[in-house]
Structure 1
């Protein structure tokens, strides 16, 4: 096989993989661009951009729709490759399993729900004097909330009894910070995973596992 044929075969395989989860890979491409921008733009410009897209209390009060949407396209730091790996582990199999529209619905429901709940609790803590007012301005981005939510619903795509082991590990891992010096972000991650589990009705009827009784016919996660 010539080099040209091998390159063609690799290109065909890459195209097939991307088409199998177009939403996830488009999202990753946007995140790659915005992460690069964080490295090439002046620090002051980056801070201004991120502050205007942060889902903190101040921005949620002023521009709720804008920040809930735009915060999904920025990462806090230079760890794009880590998210590339995590997206392939969690987002890709869920998008292939549910379809792009339902996968996106899970992402938005868990992202928005976890953001509002965690920031609502922070607002209450500030009013009660348990947290300083400065916490209302802290930069916060919702990519990880959607990731935790998708990790939650992925439970239903794993064969029994491994799905029970998986959900205990995921929920337990996200619950550990709640027993220490808890932050609103820790609450958001844990809440997002629980909301993801509650997204069971979004699973198409023909792909929906039986929670009890006979083992379901769903396949193990691919990708």
Structure 2
């Protein structure tokens, strides 16, 4: 297909008012529950990374559930992105910390992964989704670590903070929620972005823990990634296509992850038997 028939997903936006009208029209059709379940299965089929992440969180929670409290504590501390672990084995803890959670069953994380994160993966594709989530998790963790190191060096916080437990997927999820603002069009984008800033800003104002700072920075990172991706998609990629059409345009559907201009209407019409377009990433 010609390069002009493809468009980066970062510039493929939706109008919420139009989507709401489609949902209402869809809801007036018969067999709503059956079609809703079929549409949700279609959504999950396009979000393997979100499902795998949710399943991994369940497995790690189940692992902790079958061990003693002392062993749980040692395991969580070994995977935590505190200063001590980051100094000794930064790569391992940056990866491992994203797949463990403290406390009870991670209902909220799994629910978000199987809804908002799945929608984001269907929009961006698995590779872009992983890059955004990983960037939010890693960058926010490192920013917090630098802040803690500075405060410890200035004797503003106790030394025990350097060995505190800090695990979970929330930094990556927060960054992806911020990036989702660029999926929306018009005032909805600004309302979504403002809502995230108010939510995480209020949590930071009330708690002021290093985790609260991490969440807020992760949201800013998500906005930065999304904004940069939109600029690249709107200005840089068109220039590259015009300057090297054979290299980029002729292989757009294989290597660069670009997707067609047209997309299914939110997955709802997929329940009638139409299969979503298969994308390679």
Rounded Cα–Cα distance in structure 1 between residues aligned with 2:79 and 2:133: 18
Distance 1:69 1:205 in 2: 29
Q: Quote the residue 1:4 is aligned against.
A: none
C-alpha displacement of 1:19: 2.1
Are the counterparts in 2 of residues 157 and 220 from structure 1 also a CA contact under 8 Å? no
1:205–1:147 Cα change, 3 Å: same
Say which of 196, 211, 224 aligns to 1:170. Answer: 196
For 1:34 and 1:75, the matched residues in 2 are separated by: 8
Deviation per CA, 1:110-159, whole angstroms, max 9, x where unpaired? Answer: 11100000111011111111100000011001410001100110000122
- Hey, what does 2:92 align to over in structure 1? 66
Residue 176 of structure 1 and its aligned partner are, at CA, apart by 1.4
> How far is 1:183 from its partner?
1.1
- Cα distance in 2 for partners of 1:192, 1:220 equals 30
Q: Is residue 103 from structure 1 mapped to residue 129 from structure 2 by the alignment?
A: yes
For the pair 1:188 / 2:214, whether they are aligned, the reply is yes
The structural deviation recorded for 1:194 is 0.4
8 Å CA contact retained: 1:157, 1:218: no
- Residue 46 of structure 1 and its aligned partner are, at CA, apart by 1.3
- Higher RCO (Cα < 8 Å, 6 or more apart): 2
Contact 2:53 2:113 in 1 (8 A): no
Query: In the TM superposition, what is the alpha-carbon distance from 1:37 to its structure 2 partner?
Result: 1.2
Give the CA deviation at 1:68: 0.3
Gapped regions of structure 2 (runs ≥ 5): 1-34, 235-261, 269-281
Contact 2:136 2:221 in 1 (8 A): yes
Contact residue 93 and residue 222 of structure 1 kept, 8 A: no
Report the equivalent of 2:28: none
After superposing on structure 2, the runs of 4+ consecutive aligned residues of structure 1 that deviate more than 4 Å are 9-15, 217-223
TM-score where L is the length of structure 1: 0.83
Aligned length: 205
What is the aligned counterpart of 2:175 among 149, 161, 183?
149
TM-score, normalised to structure 2, is 0.67
Structure 2 counterpart of 1:43: 69
1:88 deviates by 2.9
Distance 1:102 1:182, change over 3 A: same
Q: Secondary structure at the match of 2:114?
A: helix
Structure 2 CA distance for partners of 1:221 and 1:46, relative to 1, 3 Å = farther
Alpha-carbon contact 2:171-2:218 (below 8 Å) kept: yes
Larger radius of gyration: 2
SS at structure 2 position matched to 1:199: helix
SS in 2 for 1:112: helix
CA RMSD of aligned residues (A): 2.7
CA distance in 2, matches of 1:98, 1:187: 27
Q: Deviation per CA, 1:74-112, whole angstroms, max 9, x where unpaired?
A: 111213222121223431111111110011000111111
